Amino acid sequence: MTVTRLFPILRTNDLPRLVTFYERAFSASVEYRYEHEGRAVYVALAVGGGTIGIGYEPEVSPGDPVAIWLYVDDVDSAYSRATDAGATSVADPDDMPWGERVAQVRDPDGTLLHLGSAA
């Protein structure tokens, strides 16, 4: 068996808000949208070279079930865009001892996002 593709699926009770956040913060674009009874219940977003799925689940609690690492070309700019789009700052951009520049934010549902690039 070979894994050919892997992507996270975020669960939210406010699909439009979370999709808009990723579009504004990281220039994500909708690759696929599934609707049930006239309502979007799943969206796949292209983000850089990867994909993030976002599924509507009305009873889900926001929080820490997943963290996502996004490699970006400019951590400071990505951090500013994310916070301007509604993310909450966890850690300002900083140079790490292992040679990367990293910041942390939480998206509007509380998912932890690591923003990293080579220092």
Residue 116 to residues 7, 12, 22, 34, 38, Cα–Cα distance (Å): 18, 24, 16, 31, 38
Residue in the structure block whose two tokens are 């865009």: 81
* Whole-structure pTM value: 0.80
pLDDT at position 115, please?
92
Note the pLDDT tens digit of each residue in 53-86. 999 988 888 766 678 889 899 999 999 999 999 9
Asked if residues 100 and 118 have their Cβ atoms less than 8 Å apart, the reply is yes
Q: Is the pLDDT of residue 1 over 60?
A: no
The CA distance from 1 to 83, in Å, is: 40
